[in-house]
Structure 1
Amino acid sequence: MRENRLRTLFAQQQLALSGWVSMGNALLAEVIAHSGYDAVTVDLQHGPFSIDAALPMLQAISSTPAVPLVRCSENSLGEINKLLDAGAYGVICPLINTAADAERFVRACHYSPRGGRSYGPARGFLYGGADYFTHANATLLTLAMIETREGYANAEAILQTPDLDGIFIGPSDLAIELGLAPDAYDDVRLNEAIDHLLALARKLGKYVGIFAGTMEMAQRMKGIGMDLVVPGTDIQQIKAEGARRVSALR
């Protein structure tokens, strides 16, 4: 089966960077994937598109060295199965609040005997290889999002879920849950919560990823040892670069 390069980078304790596609456009996904990212995440939670649009984006990403990831819209066996069958090599699942949520997520991502994923990965074979079924459980990444007070309080139990590879921190929603503005990325309370989650994951041998709303935050997350950092969405980066060019020419 094709290597999951993120696992290799994590094992080498090297930072992995993921692009983030929230617009339902395969060409845009391909361009981002050619920008040097280690992975590109197709976002079905906040992206205004469905699985039908995600498929060509995954195909476009798969034509590049970047690992195709998805953020599913919810903790749904049916949706997660379809996204994995379509060739996603890892799933970020939002709103994991309890160990039971995490277990349900892991089971959706794994074939029996570990899970309840149904067999039928038509495109998974094309991207992963003929031995996809044999190695899928050990190759595909499972990252549970911690972004609520409940999820934060239950983080240790969530991280102890067997075969869950790690967590992905949603800092904006977590900030809101802490009574802060969604972009309060420099607030001490948010950063203490992030440090706590990272320490828990390290203690339990799990990976940690995070969305960084600014480049300053991305650099800070790199500095504290995050495994995976997303330095902004496609929309944010296009807008920021457009504004920079306009400002320079004004």
Structure 2
Amino acid sequence: MKHQNYNAWLLSPTPFGAEIFAKAGFHSVTVDMQHGMLDFRTAIDCFRGIALHGSQPWVRVAANDPALITKVLDAGALGVICPLISTPKQADDFVKACHYQFDGGNRSFGPVRAALVLDDYVARSAKLITAMAMIETQEGFDNVEAIAATPGLNGLFIGPADLALAFGIAPTPENRDPDFLERIDHIIAAAHDAGILCGMFAGTPEYARDMLTRGMDMVSAVTDTQILLNGAQSALTALGGPTAKTHNGY
């Protein structure tokens, strides 16, 4: 059976939470620097906790910006998920930012922490780093075969909420809209036809398992905030306490 990557997703600025995910056995833990509450300094502490227990530190960067991508790679990130890749040019720019000139990229040299913690980092960097382009717009979906063919790209990563919204479909944690699932299958096929991985953010572990059955190579199956909220609500329910609050402000 092919290797499947079980990924956990960190939204809160809690290096200890990142360490707990790694200790639990997830293959990789993604530090979300796009929508998460983490800054760069906290991300480095998360990388340490993740690697301590043998998991891979991944990052979703905030944008397709070479400076941001270089900074997280220099800090030791081994996987980079880049949002809003809609054209082959954007995909190529992303890949080039991940690799040094001798590997066909334009990444600036300065792997201060990465070279400290990973032996022969510079020579092995192209094999160590996994570059995943997010498909989450209509334009990205329409160009998915060309994006998947980008030299040096390691995978496509589906952003299900934005992809659903792009086609007028309501985003849900377990989206089973037939048109949405058809597009998911199309993206999986495009990735595998190009010989690269396909991953996806999943709203629940059950949905993640279904996506693996569907052909995904990687699933982000749980977030720290989801676990904390669900656990807190379950405890309150067991106590006969209040139900989840709704908010109209701070």
TM-score by length of 1: 0.91
| Match for residue 181 of structure 2 among 163, 176, 191 | 191
Would you say the 8 A contact 1:40–1:61 is kept in 2? yes
2:205, 2:18 → 1: CA distance? 21
| Match for residue 164 of structure 2 among 175, 180, 187 | 175
CA displacement at 1:44 relative to structure 2: 0.3
2:206, 2:178 → 1: CA distance? 15
Matches within 5 A, 1:146-225: 146-183=135-172, 185-225=175-215
1:219, 1:241 → 2: CA distance? 21
Taking only aligned residues, the RMSD between alpha carbons, in angstroms, comes to 1.3
CA displacement at 1:33 relative to structure 2: 1.5
Is the radius of gyration larger for structure 1 or structure 2?
Answer: 2
1:36, 1:216 → 2: CA distance? 18
- Residue range with higher mean Cα deviation, 118-127 or 143-152: 118-127
Percent identity, please.
42
Would you say the 8 A contact 1:167–1:207 is kept in 2? yes
Matches within 5 A, 1:81-120: 81-113=70-102, 114-120=104-110
CA displacement at 1:171 relative to structure 2: 0.5
| Match for residue 26 of structure 2 among 37, 43, 58 | 37
| Match for residue 125 of structure 1 among 115, 119, 134 | 115
Task: Detail structure 1 runs of 4+ shifted over 6 Å in the superposition.
Answer: none
Matches within 5 A, 1:13-52: 13-52=2-41
SS of residue matched to 1:88: coil
2:187, 2:133 → 1: CA distance? 12
- Residue range with higher mean Cα deviation, 12-21 or 173-182: 12-21
SS of residue matched to 1:143: strand
2:209, 2:128 → 1: CA distance? 28
Q: Say how many residue pairs are matched.
A: 238
Aligned pair 1:240/2:244, yes or no?
A: no
CA displacement at 1:76 relative to structure 2: 0.7
Counterpart residue identity of residue 108, structure 1: A
1:226, 1:127 → 2: CA distance? 30
Counterpart residue identity of residue 159, structure 1: A
1:44, 1:227 → 2: CA distance? 23
Cα distance per residue 1:121-176 (max 9 Å; x no partner): 111012211x1111101221000000010111110010000010011000111111
1:126, 1:248 → 2: CA distance? 48
TM-score by length of 2: 0.91
Counterpart residue identity of residue 206, structure 1: I
2:199, 2:167 → 1: CA distance? 20
Aligned pair 1:141/2:130, yes or no?
A: yes
SS of residue matched to 1:32: helix
Cα distance per residue 1:182-237 (max 9 Å; x no partner): 21611111111101100111111110010001233112102112110111211112
Counterpart residue identity of residue 151, structure 1: G
Q: 1:4 — aligned with what? A: none
1:139, 1:56 → 2: CA distance? 20
CA displacement at 1:25 relative to structure 2: 1.6
CA displacement at 1:52 relative to structure 2: 2.1
1:190, 1:246 → 2: CA distance? 35
Counterpart residue identity of residue 27, structure 2: D
Counterpart residue identity of residue 140, structure 1: I
CA displacement at 1:239 relative to structure 2: 1.1
Matches within 5 A, 1:52-71: 52-71=41-60
2:176, 2:222 → 1: CA distance? 16
